Each structure stands twice: as C-alpha cells, then as structure tokens.
Structure 1
C-alpha cells in the first residue's frame, strides 16, 4: 500500500505529521510542506526569555495520547498529573493529561523522523497534471512535484482555495467555521501566591478561557504561564495590536489575583484559526482518490479530532485503492 508513491502533505500540524508518519510506515514517500519556521501548528512551542514554552494546546487528553502511541510507540509523551481549578478558585481537583517532552513541537518532530520537511514554504496553488499527478506552486514562484497524491492538513479556510479540483471537499471546507484565539506567554519573577497549588484554571470569565502554568509540566522549569483569551473576546479584538492584547490579558490576570502582575518577559500570539466552531463530518478523499484533507475540522474539534482525522484519512485512502 502506497509503495514508492511520492505524496505531498501540506501542513506540519499534528494531523499532517501523523498522516505523513503513517504513509511512510506503509511504504509511501511523503514530503511535508509548512509555511511556518517549525512544526506543530497549534501544538507549537515558542521562545520566551531564555526558555521555551508551549504556545498552543496546554495538554493532550488520555484518549488522544493512546491513539498517538498506538500509531508509534516511541513518542516523546509523558503523563502530567496536575491540579485544576475554576476561574474563581473555588474548586481544586487532581487531573491527568499528557504533554510532549521537552516541548510541544517535539511530538510532531518525532512523527516526522526520516520524512523530508520543507519549512517556510507556502503552497498557493495546486495543478493537476493531464497525465495524472499534481504539481505544487509556492509563494516564492517555485514548482514542486509531480506527486501521486496531495493531502491538505491545514485549517479549513486555508484549504478552500487549494481544493478547486474537488467540489465536495471545497464545499465542506467552506462550510466549516473556525474562530480565533489570542494567547500570551508570561515569565514571572515568582509564582503568584493564589496560584501556589493550581496548575490549570478554566471556566467562565469575561476575557480568559484558560490559565496554565507551563512550568508545572514535566521537564519544564522557571515560572512561565500561558494565558488564553476566550473565543468571544478574541473575535471582538481579532485585529487588535498584540502589545495592547498582552496588556489586557495581564490586566485580567492581575484582577483575578488581586495583585499587580509584572512579567519579566512577554510574548503574544494570535491563532487566527484556533477552534472549530462548526463543521460536518465528511469523507476526506476526492472521488479520484488523489486529493485529500485532514485536520480537526474534518472530525470535530480539538486534538482528539485531529488524530481521528488522520486515521480516518488513511483508512479512506486504503479503501479508495
């Protein structure tokens, strides 16, 4: 299956990297193209001061982790027992999740072991060859190919212009709604007293959706916190200045703690396509079997949906053959 097939995977997020891994394990020859400087997508890591911190999803739930370990036993994943509270600090419960080691992007890097990866390469058009196969056109004016198949592992809005050759897939991508999320990483001089026993806070708040102590994760150090704004606030200020956004999130944390928070280092990032608001489950392969999609929007939302979409795609490709 897929023996010696040259297959282009566009997008080096979790779904794309998992598909590439499974294609390679089945004899295929996947090549991955990523518009950013590194892998991970919404499981990316970023530098903050002298350390590295997770910029996207705070953790991986147990079900998704088990699916990943089933696909490849030797992955840099470790269990993370942590204490979770609501935004009012009224409850505190022990929970478990999984985190990549030593940073989020280590997971996708491990999945791509031995797979060619081209970063900072934005694909802007696909061209179907009249004798079969696909050519990829980059933003820099280069042409890559030919490829037997192309897999789009990007957020639905980014997939739409590349799916002109498949009306059903393009309509499905057009109908999926994805929402933004502002995220800020803070390096603090010391751990806030009110959060001395809490690692993750989630719940109802006018600005914040999640507060996570990144430094509590296995293998991390320092005093780094991730603040994630909720969908409503992020949509309202989607085009705001990042510096202003960072100050608003710091202010929200200060108000929640009842003390002024003054970070030693700050990083702000906008995930334009962070969450899947609505989508429909689809068969992720075109009628000809050579164009396909994956990503959380194909199966639902979140990390588990991204993993399931990769598995669904592999099964669909095998069935199509």
Structure 2
C-alpha cells in the first residue's frame, strides 16, 4: 500500500515516470523525480530552434491515449489538432483524432510534475540499499540522494538494467528488451512550400522518411514555418552511428524530393533518439508484477507496456495499481 508521506524516488521524467509521480503525490506520498536531461518529457521533449521551439520527439498524442491521460488529470494542457493529412503521393488520409500539448509537447510532463521536486541533469548510476533501510540513489557526479522507501525506474530498458541489480526478475525483463533508434530533424523554412500548402501531416513516404509533420500548424504554436521530419525505423537502425550533419542532409533532401520543392532552411536541428521505441520485449508480458518481491523497487515505461505512448500510460497504470494493492 502507498503510505502517506512515503518518500519515493522516480528515475526518469518522461511520460510514464511523470504519470506515476503525479499519481503518488495525489495519494499523499512524497515523490521526487530525477532525470539526466535539463528538462522533462523524455520523448515528449521540445527543442529550441533559434527564437522558436519545436517538438523533437513524439509529434502527437493519439485520441485514445489522450482520453486516458485526461481521465487521470483533467487539467492537462492537451488540445485536439484539426489538421489535414495525406500520404506522400498526395492521397488524403482518413481523419484520425490527434491531440497535442500546448504550447509544446513537454508541457504535458511539466504540468504533471509542477508541484513535485525535480532534480534535472542528474544521471543516476546505481540504486543501493541504505544502512538505515530503504534505498539510496548514486549519481554520475558522485552525489548520494535518499534514503527513499521505494524507487521507481522509469528509464528506457537498456538504461534501467544496471539500476535493477537488486531486483533480478525486473532486471532480466529489462535486459530482454530490444529498443530501436530514430533520427529526427526539425527545420524552419522561410515560407510554406506551395506543394503542401494545404497539408499538415505526410505519412509513409519511402524507405528514408516515415512521416513529416508541420509543427507550426499545431495549436498554440508561434509564427513561422516549422516541420518535423522523422526517419523510418529501418533507416534509423541502418544509419544509427552516422554523422548528424549527413543525416540531416539526407532527411531534408528526401523531403524536398517527395514534395517536389527545393528547400533552404533558415535553421535546423537533428537529434537521434537511441531508444525511440520497443523492437522486441519477450520477457516483459510474463512478469507477474512490475514490483520487486519486497515491493520497494518498481518499473514503468513504454517498454513495460508494449511500446509507444499507450505503453507508457499502461505501465504507469499497472504500477500504481500494484503499489495500491501491495503486490
């Protein structure tokens, strides 16, 4: 059972970790969140693009996931996105309910964590038993945090493995997960390309690009012409270790070829998500519980719930249920 004033560490400020921390605080516990990045969001992060910003990770939240999120926190800054979609041949796509956080994707996790202590730029390297009971977190910088009654690991599976040394079943589950990378390029263009003047979302282009999304069409965004180009999973895997400048050149050139317009971006930013999605997770579904045998260590994240934002939400719901039930 979750105890009032129980001090709980959550390692990872992505969607799953933020949902768990929010739920713990709502139930009277005292969560503290740790993340190696400068902000929150994980794959819901936004990036600076000169004086502007753009969503750097997951471009949207699908309607079924948005409904589940709003059921847990009705005040989340989520808005429906009215947009026009097509494939790269110009064939209109069926209407799909998509939501976005306003004014940028990371607003979602910032809202969930707004009243919760947050330690950023802290890379947790070990979880060790405290002499007085509970757990200490050790950081790459040599700092020690805690003790905490419980620790929740909400990091990608490969990063979770070394933190789960005291929970063998959970560690084996994490070690059995393969995650796939994804290259993303965000660009600001001087004007909107005429060939896509009526489109905001282009899907399934070719072997290089998976999709192109007009970020500046989303609700709450500022002025400017900003697009997010997401490479396909296979292409990202093939060129996972390629030079970022070369990757940016390939993605931009492919997009220009697909829409039939030469492009000269005003500014751009390329990013590799090394653990973008779940490629294979053979052991996770067989786990009896997302908690260790003594219920003091837990896991959540998209890799626990089957991948994507839906998997992140599912894993957070399962972990909170297990903590409440004491199992």
Which bracket does the TM-score occupy, shorter chain normalised? over 0.9
Give 1:227-242 correspondences, 5 Å limit: 227-242=229-244
Residue 106 of structure 1 corresponds to 107
Q: Note the 1:271-310 alignment, pairs <5 A.
A: 271-279=273-281, 280-281=284-285, 282=287, 283-310=289-316
For structure 1, which segment, 210-219 or 90-99, has the greater mean C-alpha deviation from structure 2 after superposition? 90-99
Equivalent position SS for 2:95: strand
5+ residue gaps in structure 1? none
Whether 2:326 is the aligned partner of 1:317: answer no
- 1:44–1:105 contact (8 Å) kept in structure 2: yes
- Equivalent residue, structure 1, for 2:34: 33
Give the structure 1 partner of residue 146 of structure 2: 145
Q: In the alignment, does 2:167 pair up with 1:166?
A: yes
> Are the aligned partners of 1:62 and 1:97 in contact in 2 as well (CA < 8 Å)?
yes
Pairwise CA distance, 1:204: 4.8
Q: Distance in 2 between matches of 1:95 and 1:63?
A: 11
2:97 & 2:200 partners in 1: Cα distance? 11
Q: Structure 2: 5+ residue runs without aligned partners?
A: none
Residues 8-157 of structure 1 aligned to structure 2 (within 5 Å): 8-157=9-158
Cα distance, 1:108 vs. partner?
Answer: 0.3
Q: CA deviation at 1:113?
A: 1.6
Instruction: Report the CA distance between 1:314 and its aligned residue.
Output: 0.2
Match for residue 255 of structure 1?
257
Q: What is the count of residue pairs matched by the alignment?
A: 321
CA RMSD of aligned residues (A): 1.1
CA shift, 1:141, in A, is 0.3
Please state how far the C-alpha of 1:167 moved relative to its aligned partner.
Answer: 1.1
Give the drift of 1:238: 0.7
- In 1, are the aligned partners of 2:208 and 2:235 still within 8 Å (CA)? yes
Contact 2:17–2:301 (CA under 8 A) maintained in structure 1: yes
